[in-house]
Amino acid sequence: MRRRDLGSVIADIKKRIANNIELPPGYYVEYGGQFENQQRAMTRLKIIVPVVITLVFLILCLTFGSIGEALLIIINVPLALIGGIPGFFLAGEYLSVPAAVGFIALFGIAVQNGVVLVSCINQLCTQGIEMEEAIITGALQRLRPVLMTATTTVPGLLPLLLSRGIGSEVQRPLAAVVVFGLTSATLLTLFVIPAFYQWFAIKINDRTDNN
């Protein structure tokens, strides 16, 4: 059973019971303990995560006054998954509650980086700077803060990712998701948001044209 996730172990147990044991009428098998707690937590997360992302999107719409800009920032969420999911499996981990918590933390950092970058470009546009110049200048001005987030978070989580002691089975999945996901999200954010900003920021375009 070592180096296996709880879900696959329970699946094997269910299969063996189904193939080798015939239960009398009215009898059934329940799986409790850690597996039951994990299933309950994952069920709640399936509801909580979409609700939270929707609320974040609505808050972004109210903050920026633009659905396009809110969508542009939310794009950072799948960008984080590009590195988070492959890195998660490359590290030999399995989907669990700590991993799900790691994805939630990763989404928050990715959205924060998007807000920092888009806000800076918006500010430059409202100052009368041309759109293309504002995008380039804003990306350069916010390069350091975005990179600092990654360079302080990733090294801080590396000890958890490399740990093999007691409790590491809880620490490693969370650290693997954040380390690999934040790396990809940081690099892609600096290229994707500036590249697509002009397509999504309709409100700023109109404001600049009116001025």
Tell me what pLDDT residue 78 has.
82
Which residue type sits at 96? S
d(Cα 200, Cα 185) in Å, to the nearest integer? 19
Q: What mean pLDDT comes out for the span 51-78? A: 87
Superfamily of domain 41-210: Multidrug efflux transporter AcrB transmembrane domain (1.20.1640.10)
Tell me what pLDDT residue 84 has.
80
The chain-wide mean pLDDT, for the chain, equals 80
Q: What are the b/e assignments for 139-164, b being 16+ CB within 10 Å?
A: beebeeebeebbeebbeebeebbeee
Does 211 have pLDDT greater than 50? Answer: no
Q: Which residue has the higher pLDDT, 201 or 74?
A: 74
Q: What mean pLDDT comes out for the span 185-189? A: 85
Q: Which residue has the higher pLDDT, 153 or 89?
A: 153
User: 158 and 141 in contact (C-beta within 8 Å)?
Assistant: no
| Rounded percentage of the chain residues whose pLDDT exceeds 70 | 90
pLDDT tens digits along 15-50: 888 788 887 888 877 777 777 777 777 788 788 888
User: 111 and 76 in contact (C-beta within 8 Å)?
Assistant: yes
Tell me what pLDDT residue 208 has.
42
Count Cα atoms within 13 angstroms, Cβ side, for 35: 12
pTM, to two decimals: 0.74
